[in-house]
Chains A and B, each alone.
Chain A
Amino acid sequence: MIIKVLGTGCPNCKKMVANVSQAVKELNIEATIEKVENIQKIMAYGVMRLPAIVIDGQVKTMGRVLSCEEVKKYLL
């Protein structure tokens, strides 16, 4: 599974990355987490609200910091 967190590096985006890492660790699953900060790459997903989460190429949520528990729902 490839999880991408889209965000330009604001505190919210960093918090999102931390929550995603935590969720992956707690579920003990195989996943690579990638932080996408390049605006061109972010725009390629058509996302206008940050932070956003992309799982296996699909935009799952935008404009909201997900809690660790919420991330887990998308991973299972």
Chain B
Amino acid sequence: MIRGRVDKLTILKEIGDFIVYQILGMKWLNELIGNLIQWIFGETFANSTWGEIIQYFFYDFIKIGLLLCFLIFIISYIQSFFPPERTKKILSRYHGIGANALGALLGTVTPFCSCSSIPIFIGFSRAGLSTGVTFSFLISSPLVDLGALALLTSIFGYGVALTYVAVGLILAIIGGTIIEKTGLGKHIEPFVTEGIDIIIESQKLTFKDRLIYSKDQMLSTYKKVVLYIVIGVIIGAVIHNLIPEAWIVSALGSNNPLSVIYATIIGAPIYADIFGTIPVAEALYAKGAGLGTILAFMMSVTTLSLPSLIMLKKVVKWKLLIAFIGIVMIGIIIIGYAFNGLEYLFIN
């Protein structure tokens, strides 16, 4: 009996490993590119630093591109069921921390581009949603991305990816709740609420409409982020092959007590897509940077950026903007230290 159970578990683990390493991680692709380089340029070049940099670049670039296109398509299809008009309607029925939790969850599935953040902010406020709930939505939307979940799984495995999503949602819920309870939420520009809530029906979409929408989203997202991916992968390839491990360990390893704070502060003003950030994170991690440090960097880059803060400033006053930055940064720093402290639980 016991024997049979163990066998079943082993099989499940093998299937899991296959998904993580071969389907999401695409280890076969790495070997294929390695063999191609060797075949074209010869063994000496393939094993040189430049050969390895080129192999790493193409492997990571193609892997992220394929995953991104596949994921954006699936995700856009799901998102087409949750336009902001519908999210607004759902959220306006709830109050208290439940509303914050729902706001954070809907943030992950509502399609959202940075140029729509202002209309969404105003639309939600005019529908009577509290500023705290709107902030829960605005924090989780860029932070907990379904695509990021799959990419994180491909690099760090399920444990880290699911924990990332969980702590991201908690940060969004707590951040929004603090803004609510401290009364900071009332520091918004008066014009935001001066105006009536206009309810328009979202367009009825057919199956074909949703497929067209998903395809459009896939292509436009890929075009938008391809530059970030190239830059991210180049930086990643350089870190992977040229920067000595000892440097990274001493600056960003979990033994450096300030590493998480550095990573969060450096990441905040940078504007990059999460898909561009992941290759850098992957390379830093392979070279001994702390897990929490890397996650803090990624969270900081995606949630806070100069362009999005400038946008937000149009609808909120300084006091609320600074509180928002402070809450998010402190939250990220706490998450970073927690992950560094518990790293041994995730990695075996």
The residues of A with any CB-CB pair to B shorter than 8 Å are 7-8, 10, 12-13, 39-40, 42-50, 59, 61-65
State which of A43, A44, A49 has its C-beta within 8 Å of the C-beta of B116.
Answer: A49
Q: Would A10 and B115 count as touching, CB distance under 8 A?
A: yes
CA A59 to CA B119, docked complex, whole Å: 15
Having A42-B119, A46-B200, A49-B111, one finds 12 other A-B pairs with CB under 8 Å, namely A8-B115, A8-B119, A43-B195, A44-B198, A47-B119, A48-B84, A49-B116, A50-B115, A59-B200, A61-B203, A62-B83, A65-B220
Q: Size band of the B side of the interface? A: 20 to 34
- Contacts A45-B198, A46-B198, A48-B85; is A63 near B122 (CB within 8 Å)? no
Q: Would A50 and B119 count as touching, CB distance under 8 A?
A: yes
Smallest CB separation, A42 vs chain B (Å): 6
Q: Would B111 and A63 count as touching, CB distance under 8 A?
A: yes
- Contacts A59-B200, A64-B216; is A8 near B118 (CB within 8 Å)? yes
CA A39 to CA B119, docked complex, whole Å: 7
Smallest CB separation, A38 vs chain B (Å): 11
Q: For B113, B195, B200, B216, which residue has the most chain A Cβ atoms within 10 angstroms?
A: B200
Chain B 202-227 interface 0/1 with A at a Cβ cutoff of 8 Å (1 = within): 11000000000100100010000000
Q: Is B199's beta carbon under 8 Å from chain A?
A: yes
Taking chain B's interface residues, is the majority helix, strand, or loop, or is none over half, making it mixed? helix
- Contacts A44-B195, A46-B123, A48-B88; is A39 near B200 (CB within 8 Å)? no
State which of A10, A12, A43 has its C-beta within 8 Å of the C-beta of B198.
Answer: A43
Q: Would A64 and B213 count as touching, CB distance under 8 A?
A: yes
Smallest CB separation, B85 vs chain A (Å): 6
**Chain A residue with Cβ nearest B191:** A40
Which residues of B are found within 8 Å of A42, using beta-carbon distances?
A: 119
CA A48 to CA B199, docked complex, whole Å: 10
**Chain B residue with Cβ nearest A58:** B200
CA A62 to CA B88, docked complex, whole Å: 15
- Contacts A40-B191, A63-B83; is A47 near B200 (CB within 8 Å)? yes
Which residues of A are found within 8 Å of B198, using beta-carbon distances?
A: 43-46
Which residues of A are found within 8 Å of B216, using beta-carbon distances?
A: 64
CA A25 to CA B84, docked complex, whole Å: 33
